[in-house]
Amino acid sequence: MRNEAAGHGPGTVGRRALLIGGAGAAAAAVTTRGAPSAAWADAADCAVTRHDDAGAATLDEALAAVPEGGTLTVTRPWSRAAPLVVDRPVTIVFSGAGRLTMTADVAAIEVRAGGVTLRDVVLAGISGSRTGLGRGIVAAGTVEAPIDGLRVEGATITGFTHDGIFASFCRSFTIAGCTIGDVAYAGVLMLSCSYGVVRDCTIDGVNQPSPYVNSYGVIVSRDDTVPLAQAPRSSMILIDSNTVSGVTSWEGIDTHAGEGIVVTGNTVRDCRVGIAMVPCKHEVDRGSTLWAPLDVVVSGNTVERVGLDVPGAGIVVKGAGDTVGSAAERATGVVVDNVVRGHGGGSEGGIVLYLTRDVIVSGNAFESCVGSALVLYHSNDAVMLLRNSATVLRPASPGGAMAVVTVRSGANTGTISSTRFEAGGDAPARPVRGVAVGLAGNELDLLGNDWSQTDLAVWGSKSVVNRYGDGA
């Protein structure tokens, strides 16, 4: 046992930074929060007790010897069939040969208190290729008693039958620098969480074995079987600078009905769908959706396919409801300055929108997307597509037509401006349309677009398409 100074203070990303400053301010808040403040440095002489597991008969015994605010350093490999329960504010650090290997299909570490830090933990489950209840880290509060101040830093988590990190009813939390792979359902799963950060993590290999019908790299959601009062939306969460790959059957980064979710600076590779901002189901009518994602920001991400070739959108924004013109809650937010490569196919596109209101899609670059760069499916009110560019389109089927913007159904209104297409290398695929509007019930204004390298600027005559200074 030895005494050393405390090292890290708690921090949060402020609501004001996310709402007013957007993704840039949120990222700045994340960057500055990691540095110790002067006040914290001045408190360096406040000693805390540190223990290790060298002489302990069990890991539970070693943890029990650590007082509140103390640190346990795990230096040995341990095998367990039950979770290590952390029920008070402590720091657990893995060092050297420190490792926790599970021999049963349960959580490895279960956090039941606020103020817990888990640093450099190494956790191994029994399998990531079948379904079960195996989880690397579980931190589950309640709506009445959320868990505050959880920090998971530098973890390595593999081989769990459900997810790597599961957090519910957690506030002011940080998940940073973690490596998660070979899991069955999700890398990081958050339910009814708020004011949190998931940053600089690498998630590779989310397997979705049967009977799981979906899977996620990072998901921000809620329990949609109960009302909002019992399971609020997740809100004010920053998902920043992560690399998510190999979610080949479902979605790389997702929110179901989150509010103020900022997804920025991530690389999402070889996922069926890259980033999905979508609604959650109705708690009574399970065949319909009720709550939409609100005030979401999707900015500066690279969403690409390198070794995967199945239909799927790069980025999806979808509100609640199902029918054209539905009166259910609409999705809101912005999708800006992303790069989307190789996505689309079938009825999909690089970015797909439906059931939205006042959404801005601006400054995005599309490369080698399949069929369409942008798809307005249906029921997008006052959408603004600005300054987007598409380079090379590939047909979804041999000889099939392609479009920079495809309007697939009705009830879409909005503006398409300063958008351009570049055909790319030798003998590009043809025909390419600027805007394809095959059905009635849409009204779009086109301003100052560059369609000079398309074969036809506007295809379809059933909807109202107004062109103002629009390129040939």
pTM of the model: 0.90
What is the C-alpha separation between 173 and 146, in angstroms, rounded? 11
Q: Does pLDDT of 159 surpass 90?
A: yes
Three-state secondary structure call for residue 155 = coil
Q: Does pLDDT of 1 surpass 60?
A: no
Instruction: Please give the helix or strand (H or E) that residue 290 lies within, else none.
Output: strand 289-291
Q: Sorting pLDDT into bands at 50, 70 and 90, what band is 38?
A: very low
| DSSP tag of 233 | P
Structure confidence by residue, pLDDT tens digits, 293-341:
999 999 999 999 999 999 999 999 999 999 999 999 999 999 999 999 9
Q: Are strands 186-191 and 216-221 parallel, antiparallel or unpaired?
A: parallel
For residues 218 and 188, the answer to whether their CB atoms sit within 8 Å is: yes
Q: Residue 303 has which token pair?
A: 């969403």
Q: Does pLDDT of 90 surpass 70?
A: yes
Burial classification of residue 305, based on how many CB atoms lie within 10 Å of its CB (0-12 exposed, 13-18 middle, 19 or more buried): buried
Preceding omega of 232 cis (within 30 degrees of 0): no
> How many Å from the N-terminal Cα to the C-terminal Cα in the chain?
77
Structure confidence by residue, pLDDT tens digits, 428-442:
788 999 999 999 999
pLDDT at residue 49 in the model: 78
Query: Domain map of the chain by residue range?
Result: 10-47, 49-213, 224-472
CA 413 to chain centre: 28
Q: Does pLDDT of 6 surpass 70?
A: no
pLDDT at residue 43 in the model: 39
Q: Does pLDDT of 14 surpass 60?
A: no
Structure confidence by residue, pLDDT tens digits, 403-437:
999 999 999 999 999 999 999 877 678 899 999 99
Structure confidence by residue, pLDDT tens digits, 130-151:
999 999 999 999 999 999 999 9
Q: Residue 371 has which token pair?
A: 């069929």
Percent of the chain with pLDDT over 70: 89
What is the C-alpha separation between 171 and 173, in angstroms, rounded? 5
Q: Residue 433 has which token pair?
A: 């349309």
